[in-house]
Amino acid sequence: MSKSFLTLGIESSCDETSVAVVKDGKEVLSNVIASQVDWHRKFGGVVPEIASRKHVELINPVIDEALKEARVSYDDLSLVAVTFGPGLVGGLLVGISAAKAISYAHSIPLIGVNHIEGHIYANFISSPDIKPPLVCLTVSGGHTDLLYFESLGQYQILGRTLDDAAGEAFDKVARVMDIGYPGGPAIDKLAKEGDPKAIDLPRSFINEDNYDFSFSGLKTAVLNYINNQKQKGQEIDKADLAASFQQAVVDVLKAKVIKAVQNKGVKQVLLSGGVASNSQLRRELKEALEELNIKLYYPEPKLCTDNAAMIASAGYFRWQENKEVNPYSLNAYPALRLR
C-alpha cells in the first residue's frame, strides 16, 4: 500500500491563525483555527498591526496543536503549503516564515497557495467527487470572483467586483447599522426577522451583459436611507433594512451565476468564501439551480471562512498538477489575484 500524502497547511492572511494536516488533499486530520475576532471587534474591523502581533504569538502553538491533533510528526509530512497572498502583508509574512523554517529544517517541499484558490478547494474537501466543468462563485470579505473551470487547475475569470467585495458590503452595512461584528453573520441572523421587500435598494449591473459586480452603490444607498430616516425623525426598522440589503446582494449574485451556467452549459456550481455560509444565498441559489437541473455545492460552514485545511488541499492539487515547488525566496503578495 502506498504511503498516504500528508500536507501541512498554514493560513495567516487576515485575522485567523490556522494550521491543518490534510491527507491526500481531501481528508482533514486536523484544522486548528485561532480566531482573533475578539481583539478586532472593538475597532469594527481588522487592525493589521494587532493581527501581525497575534499571528506571531499564535503560530507555533497552533502548529503544535495541529500536528498533535492529527497524531503525526514533522517526519510524516510530504508537503508544506502556505498562503502567500492576497492578504495583510504582516500576517502573510508570519505564515510564510514558519512554513519556510519547517520546510528547510525537515527537508519538505514548500508550495505557496493563492488564498482565493484555497477557498475554492474547500469544496473538494466537503464533496470529494466534484469534477469540472463547472462555474464557481467566490464571495468573501476581500473578493467576489465568478470563474469557469474547464478542468481542475484550469480556470477562466468570467467577472469580478469593480469596487467592494460582497463580504465587505455586509461588514460595512452592519457597521453603519451598529448591529455587530463581523457583519455577515449579524445581517444573516437579523434578516430572518425582516421583510426583504420593505426598502427599495439598487441591484447594480443585474441586467448588464457582463459578469461583473459592484456593491459600493448599494452600501451608499443604505447609508443614504439611514440618514434620510434620521433627518425625518423616523425610526429605522433594522430587521427590514438587513433583509432588504441581503435580498439585493443575493439577487445580483444569483442572476450572474445563472447567466454563467446557461452560457457555459455546466451542470455543477461551486460556492466558496465566507459569504458562502449565508443562509439565504445558499437556499435561493440551490432552489434556482435545481429548477435548471444543476447541482450546487458549498463547503461546510467551518471550511467557508478562513482556515488552513483549504490551503493544504489547494497546495496538494497544485503540486499534483506539475510537482512544481517554490524556492525559499517565496515572498508575500498582498494584492495577489487569480490569473
CB environment 267-281: b (16+ within 10 A), e (fewer)? ebbbbbbbbbbbebb
Angle at 130 between CA 128 and CA 135, to 5 degrees: 140
Contacting residue, 25, 85, 90, 273, with ligand KG4 by CB under 6 A: 273
Residue 194, interface with ligand KG4 (CB under 6 A)? no
Contacting residue, 85, 91, 95, 142, with ligand KG4 by CB under 6 A: 142
CA 31 to each of CA 21, 137, 241, 286, 312: distance values in angstroms, whole numbers, following the listed order: 7, 24, 36, 27, 10
Q: Distance (Å, rounded) from C-alpha 140 to C-alpha 297?
A: 16
Count the residues of the shown chain that bind ligand KG4, applying the rule CB under 6 A.
Answer: 20
Residue 184, interface with ligand KG4 (CB under 6 A)? yes
Q: Judged by CB under 6 A, which stretch of 106-114, 123-131, 137-145, 224-232 contacts ligand KG4?
A: 137-145
Contacting residue, 70, 306, 317, 326, with ligand KG4 by CB under 6 A: 306
Cβ nearer to ligand KG4, comparing 193 with 208: 193
Q: How far is the CB of 328 from ligand KG4 (least distance, A)?
A: 26
CA 228 to each of CA 76, 233, 317: distance values in angstroms, whole numbers, following the listed order: 62, 9, 51
Interface map 118-147 toward Zn ion (x if CB under 5 A): ----------------------x-------
Contacting residue, 46, 125, 173, 275, with ligand KG4 by CB under 6 A: 275
Q: Judged by CB under 6 A, which stretch of 20-28, 165-173, 235-243, 292-300 contacts ligand KG4?
A: 165-173
Cβ nearer to ligand KG4, comparing 140 with 161: 140
240 binds, among ligand KG4, Zn ion, none (CB under 5 to 8 A by kind): none
Peptide bond connecting 133 to the previous residue in cis, omega within 30 degrees of 0 = yes
Is the distance from CB of 247 to CB of 194 less than 8 angstroms?
A: no
Contacting residue, 9, 95, 112, 141, with ligand KG4 by CB under 6 A: 141
Cell reading at 159: 467577472
Is the distance from CB of 115 to CB of 250 less than 8 angstroms?
A: no
Q: Distance (Å, rounded) from C-alpha 94 to C-alpha 310?
A: 18
Q: How far is the CB of 14 from ligand KG4 (least distance, A)?
A: 6
Residue 171, interface with ligand KG4 (CB under 6 A)? yes
Is the distance from CB of 313 to CB of 121 less than 8 angstroms?
A: yes
Cell reading at 86: 492576497
Cβ nearer to ligand KG4, comparing 122 with 289: 122
